[in-house]
């Protein structure tokens, strides 16, 4: 091979090597490539609660609008179930997991596994450590709204029971909000507090126990509507429907029906909007997938009071 041909070949090879990096996308470029939210997994705490049924209904509607598939899983208030469900979603190559976590700290390792697999994870209703974002009711405000109405309807005085729930942040915050308001009423006394499992049956059971121990009660706050409606049953079974007032949190269809029932001790509920939580979660995930700037990773939805005075104008879930 003559000198000219050797020189030409060396230059040609050098040019090819120089061009190779430009032809292969960098890791950062691949990371910045937007993707579509086509497969959505929704994980709820307990499908027997109408709150989570409303989430499922909204998820189906919103997923259909964007052409995405939807897989809904019920944890039945069990952290182990949620861990298993996340691992299944990873195998199914979901683009988005929307989770109402049973245990916000305990679920973190599973969420990290999902994120390592490239899945967007958004918490709804209650925080979840490691999630990309959280969309929730302003839970402290909800507790304050419900209890302020309860205490005012009690005339600012009397003994109160709190029907608590499972120790997740949103429930802790509702109880905190109620106690914030109680501190402003010197003649309101919280004489009992027990945890239900967030449902009507255990709400009935713990309220019955507390009424036995504290019969001189004139108000009960249930940290969600199912537990509050369980408290209503306990009050009526004790023959105290005219002496005790009950409020809750959710603004559920069952609470609306109860507000319309003549003679019920249930007088009000502070709203949540489970459907809106899911709609906003999917919208935010689309923005994250498209690499759009996110102004906030925590979105709080305001809570308002529904009482007998305005129940007929309440849009509901």
Tokens found for residue 176: 């905190």
Q: What is the pLDDT of residue 35?
A: 84
pLDDT tens sequence across 160-169: 999 999 999 9
67 contacts 38 by C-beta, under 8 angstroms: yes
Q: What is the pLDDT of residue 281?
A: 98
Tokens found for residue 39: 């497969």
Q: Taking the CA of residue 35 as centre, how many other CA atoms within 13 Å lie in the half-sphere pointing to its CB? A: 15
Matching CATH topology for 39-136+274-301 and 139-272+307-313? Answer: yes
Q: 139-272+307-313 adopts what CATH topology? A: Rossmann fold (3.40.50)
pLDDT tens sequence across 24-58: 333 333 345 668 999 999 999 999 988 999 999 99
DSSP strand E in the chain: where? 39-44, 69-74, 96-99, 120-124, 133-137, 158-164, 188-195, 219-222, 245-250, 266-271, 298-301, 305-307
In angstroms, rounded to a whole number, what is the distance separating the alpha carbons of residues 137 and 144? 13
Q: 39-136+274-301 adopts what CATH topology? A: Rossmann fold (3.40.50)
Average pLDDT, rounded, for the chain? 91
**What residue spans define the domains of the chain?**
39-136+274-301, 139-272+307-313
Question: For the residues 209-218, what does the mean pLDDT come to?
Answer: 98
Better-predicted residue by pLDDT, 23 or 178: 178
Question: For the residues 169-182, what does the mean pLDDT come to?
Answer: 97
Closest CA to 173 of 270, 78, 276, 79: 270
In angstroms, rounded to a whole number, what is the distance separating the alpha carbons of residues 72 and 52? 10
306 contacts 268 by C-beta, under 8 angstroms: yes
pTM for the whole structure: 0.83
pLDDT tens sequence across 225-257: 999 999 999 999 999 999 999 999 999 999 999
φ and ψ at residue 136, rounded to 5 degrees: -145, 160
């Amino acid at each position: 091979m003559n000198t000219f041909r050797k020189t030409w070949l060396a230059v040609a090879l050098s040019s090819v090597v120089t061009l190779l990096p430009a032809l292969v996308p960098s890791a950062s470029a691949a990371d910045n490539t937007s993707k579509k939210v086509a497969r959505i997994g929704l994980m709820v705490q307990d499908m027997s609660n109408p709150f989570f049924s409303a989430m499922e209904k909204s998820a189906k509607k919103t997923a259909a609008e964007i052409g995405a598939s939807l897989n809904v899983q019920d944890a039945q208030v069990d952290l182990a179930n949620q861990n298993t469900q996340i691992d299944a979603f990873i195998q199914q190559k979901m683009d988005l997991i929307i989770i109402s976590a049973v245990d916000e700290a305990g679920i973190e390792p599973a969420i990290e596994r999902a994120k390592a697999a490239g899945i967007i994870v958004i918490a709804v209703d209650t925080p979840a450590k490691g999630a990309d974002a959280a969309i929730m009711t302003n839970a402290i405000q909800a507790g304050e709204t419900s209890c302020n109405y309860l205490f005012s309807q009690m005339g600012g005085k009397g003994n109160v029971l709190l029907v608590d729930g499972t120790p997740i942040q949103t429930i802790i915050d509702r109880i905190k909000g109620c106690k914030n308001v109680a501190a402003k009423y010197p003649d309101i006394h919280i004489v009992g507090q027990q945890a239900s499992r967030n449902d009507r049956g255990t709400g009935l059971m713990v309220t019955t126990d507390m009424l036995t121990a504290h019969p001189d009660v004139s108000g009960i706050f249930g940290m969600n509507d199912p537990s509050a409606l369980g408290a209503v049953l306990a009050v009526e079974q004790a023959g105290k429907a005219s002496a005790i007032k009950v409020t809750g949190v959710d603004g559920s269809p069952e609470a609306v029906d109860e507000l319309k029932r003549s003679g019920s001790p249930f007088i009000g509920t502070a709203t949540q909007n489970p459907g809106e939580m899911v709609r906003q979660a999917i919208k935010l995930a689309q923005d994250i997938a498209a690499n759009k700037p996110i102004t906030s990773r925590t979105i709080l939805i305001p809570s308002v009071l529904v009482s007998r005075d305005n129940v007929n104008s309440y849009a509901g879930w």
